[in-house]
């Protein structure tokens, strides 16, 4: 789970790295974005001028690496004006994050 | 020749050229053929799309498999083309940053 | 250009405690500048209660996919940010 905004810290990227590593060893892994973390999923991020790589483009490699799903907390998306139309492709909207968490054997927050 | 870091990786992926690839490969004793170029082109496109190198050997093999199928996307094939740590060797030649999880 | 009494430079996300503290501290004659994660405030429909000029650091907004600025918010680049701080009598970095 990533509940922190992109680019501010390295916490989220470390979580992404962990998810990719689990996928590399064929562990079933999904990522849930909640709170300000949903801002990872906004389309058309252009971080060239702050000398960083686009977290959205990094995330687009997740299905290739074997990450099963990218979930977004619907309430947080509404708060930040995010809809499936202005988010990156392949995001699954999740009305109840707490219910989703019960479907997983293990859940961990980034940071 | 683009600037390279202490491990031989090109510092700025945009400065990479096919000619540079041949020189970097020669350092590893590799003479590039069509099979190498197919993987190099795949990696260049991968990096342009995702702004990240495949982080490990396993994910390198997985990504190649996804894009080019089983005959290319297996570790023996990639190990033969890019000896050592295939993800590292291939990314170095293709001008990508060092895969984060390769020692 | 009119002088700014206090320039509030905020780099925290909208829900962050310090962000709320910053909003409370705004007074008429002040100005507010969003940088880093604070630019995400542009995506929420929340605005400061007090009517002060609002600025946003353009490279930070662009990075987060928020290059389209809402009405009433002025984008600044790095040199313009320096000008703002020079115009301000005091600066608070939250």
> Is position B100 within any domain?
no
Q: Record the tokens describing residue C37, joined without a space.
A: 């994660």
Question: Which residues 12-41 on chain C approach chain A with CB closer than 8 angstroms?
Answer: 13-15, 36-37, 40
**Beta carbon pairs, A and C, within 8 Å:** 58
Most C CBs within 10 A among A59, A79, A85, A91, hence the mutation to make, goes to A79
CATH 3.40.50.10880 fits A11-101, yes or no: no
Q: Is the pLDDT of residue B73 over 80?
A: yes
Domains in chain C: ranges and CATH: 4-93 (3.40.1260.10)
> Is position B59 within any domain?
yes
C69 touching chain A per CB within 8 A? no
Number of domains forming the structure of chain B: 1
- In chain A, the percentage of residues whose pLDDT exceeds 70 is 100
Tell me which residue of A64, A55, A63 sits closest to A2, measured CA to CA.
A55
pLDDT per position as a tens digit, B15-69 = 999 999 999 999 999 999 999 999 999 999 999 999 999 999 999 999 999 999 9
> Is position B68 within any domain?
yes
Q: Is the pLDDT of residue A11 over 90?
A: no
Q: What is the CA A59 to chain-centroid distance, rounded?
A: 7
A96 touching chain C per CB within 8 A? no
Provide the pLDDT confidence category of residue A84 given band limits of 50, 70 and 90.
Answer: very high
Q: C25-50: string of b/e by CB count within 10 Å (b at 16+)?
A: ebeeebbbbbbbbbbbbbbeeeeeee
Give C7-54 as a DSSP string.
EEEE-S-TTSHHHHHHHHH--TT-EEEE-GGGGGGGGSS---SS---E
| Structural domain containing residue B47 | 13-94
CB contact under 8 A, B101 and A54: no
Q: Record the tokens describing residue A49, joined without a space.
A: 């001028």
- In chain C, the percentage of residues whose pLDDT exceeds 70 is 98
For residue B30, the domain's CATH number is 1.10.10
Distance CA B72, CA B58 (A): 13
pLDDT per position as a tens digit, C31-49 = 999 999 999 999 997 777 7
> Is position B6 within any domain?
no
Say whether B102 is catalytic: yes
């Amino acid at each position: 789970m990533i509940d922190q905004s992109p680019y501010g810290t390295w916490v989220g990227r470390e979580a992404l790295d962990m998810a990719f590593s689990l996928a590399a060893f064929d562990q079933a892994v999904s990522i849930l974005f909640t709170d300000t973390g949903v801002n990872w999923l906004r389309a058309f991020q252009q971080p060239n001028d702050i000398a960083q790589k686009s977290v959205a483009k990094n995330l687009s490699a997740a299905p290739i690496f074997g990450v099963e799903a990218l979930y977004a907390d619907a309430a947080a998306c509404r708060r930040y004006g995010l809809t499936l139309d202005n988010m990156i492709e392949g995001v699954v909207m999740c009305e109840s994050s707490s219910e989703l968490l019960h479907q997983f054997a293990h859940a961990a927050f980034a940071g | 020749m683009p600037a390279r870091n202490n491990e031989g990786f090109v510092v700025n992926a945009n400065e990479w050229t096919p000619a540079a690839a041949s020189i970097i490969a020669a350092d590893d004793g590799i003479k590039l053929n069509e099979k190498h170029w197919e993987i190099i082109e795949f990696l260049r496109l991968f990096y342009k799309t995702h702004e990240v190198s495949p982080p490990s050997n396993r994910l390198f093999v997985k990504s190649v498999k996804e894009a080019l199928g089983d005959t290319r996307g297996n570790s023996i094939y990639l190990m033969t083309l890019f000896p050592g740590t295939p993800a590292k060797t291939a990314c170095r030649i293709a001008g990508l940053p060092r895969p984060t999880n390769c020692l | 250009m009119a002088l700014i009494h206090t320039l509030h430079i905020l780099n925290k996300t909208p829900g962050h405690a310090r962000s709320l503290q910053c909003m409370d501290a705004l007074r008429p004659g002040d100005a507010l500048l969003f940088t880093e994660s604070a630019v995400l405030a542009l995506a929420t429909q929340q605005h400061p209660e007090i009517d002060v000029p609002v600025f946003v650091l353009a490279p930070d907004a662009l990075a987060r996919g928020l290059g389209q600025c809402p009405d009433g918010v002025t984008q600044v680049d790095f040199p313009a940010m320096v000008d703002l701080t020079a115009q301000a009598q005091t600066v608070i970095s939250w």
